[in-house]
Amino acid sequence: MPAFQHSFDPTTLREYDIRGIVGKTLHSADAFAIGRCFGSIVARGGGKLVAVGYDGRLSSPELEAALVAGLTACGLEVARVGCGPTPMLYYATYALKADGGVMVTGSHNPPDYNGFKMMLGKKPFFGAQIQEIGRMAAAGDVVAEAQGNDRQVDMAEDYIARMLQDYDGGERKLRVVWDPGNGSGAEITKALVARLPGEHTVINGTIDGTFPAHHPDPTVAANLEQIIAEVARQKADLGIAFDGDADRIGVVDDEGHILFGDQLLIVLARDVLKSHPGGTIIADVKASQVLFDEVAKAGGTPLMWKTGHSLIKSKMAETGSPLAGEMSGHIFFADKWYGFDDAPYSALRLLGIVARMSGKLSDVRKALPQVINTPELRFNCAEERKFEVVAEVKARLAGEGASVQDVDGVRVLTEDGWWLLRASNTQAVLVARAEASSDAGLERLKAHLVRHLTASGLEAPDFSGANAGH
């Protein structure tokens, strides 16, 4: 029997990361095993240095210590950057020229979750690579035990200073409300805004793994109620919120309206395309058609791609895209930055744009073509059925002669607009969305989607009250 052997709960080995419920599906022994297996991959590739960070969850310090023990047992040097946002760990991996990076984070999940996001060299580590960690652990397929070492490295000042180099808003003093949501981006947020012009208020600015104010997910409107109220009270120019590990951003304009991920990407893309004419701007399949049209109008090349931050990052590198984004609030700047999803950096770039505007952010939002859409609707579907259902729907649509984009699930285009059905890569759910230029058109799209779900023996999701202007 090998000296090292370990079995993971199979539900924790996901498409983009390793994640589970602490004490139930995820334990310190798992963290050590991840260090041992990922460290072996790095060592076998000739690597010597891995950067490690952790978020503000109560379980993170213990998991980080076990992870580091596993990495050093592979003979590696570990640069421990401490508690902070996930993008700071990504930045550290670049700045320290590390051979890999691991972030201990449960992202936007409830407090009892935790997990691990990884980089191998400068690339995301995901998909089959994560399954390989499971195989290696079960087989005990790791490098011989050796004595590595670890050191503390404070990256916060370097990270903030590097971000500030790209602030291009001049001296105009904006009034901004920030909500890091008691997540691991809280301290960085406070330090960053202290060095920006303008008036800045940070709410929920203490790192607290119990998330006492609200759940740390800025894509859910209820979690933005507090910042919306504060923006109104202060008559602020905008509000910016982060998720639990600050790799996703939520934005509220001066009128308290949420700028959704695709709307935010339009604002950013118009600016980036000034210095990258014809540049490829990538968005996931859930984004509004308005985004793709506006990117083309601004002289860019819009590219619809699969949902998932690792998949988007890989596509950016392949196409040389300067900017990409997802509806979930992941924004990726390769223009002046490193191509990873970074909410504090995206916020800084947005502030520069707003500071240079003659009008208000709400004016930009209101000038966009008005469409009506459903939010992202998620409904349960057995793991073994979810991809089958999408394939069945696709086959029936082909029989109908429908216009379909199939880069990720099926996105069906009609005169009314479009509807989307895709299988989640991370949960036993199907995801649906629809968008039209009129209420009647949206009803027709929803009926078309429901007809296909019923034909595959599924109960349709509840669409009632799901329409919203966007």
Question: Whose structure tokens read 């503000």?
Answer: 56
Look at strands 77-83 and 100-104 and give their pairing. Answer: unpaired
Is residue 281 within a helix (H) or strand (E), and if so which, with residue range? strand 280-284
Dist. CA 141–CA 133, nearest whole Å:
9
Catalytic sites, residue numbers: 107
Half-sphere exposure of 412 (CA within 13 A, CB side): 28
Q: Residues 105, 114: contact at Cβ < 8 Å?
A: yes
CA distance 73 to 363: 56
DSSP 161-194: HHHHTT---TT---EEEEE-TTSTTHHHHHHHHT
The neighbouring-strand residues paired with 120 are 100, 123
DSSP H helices, 96-246, are 128-139, 156-164, 186-193, 225-234
Cα–Cα distances in angstroms (integers) from residue 312 to residues 63, 164, 319, 397, in the given order: 28, 25, 10, 27
Query: H or E stretch including 19?
Result: strand 18-21
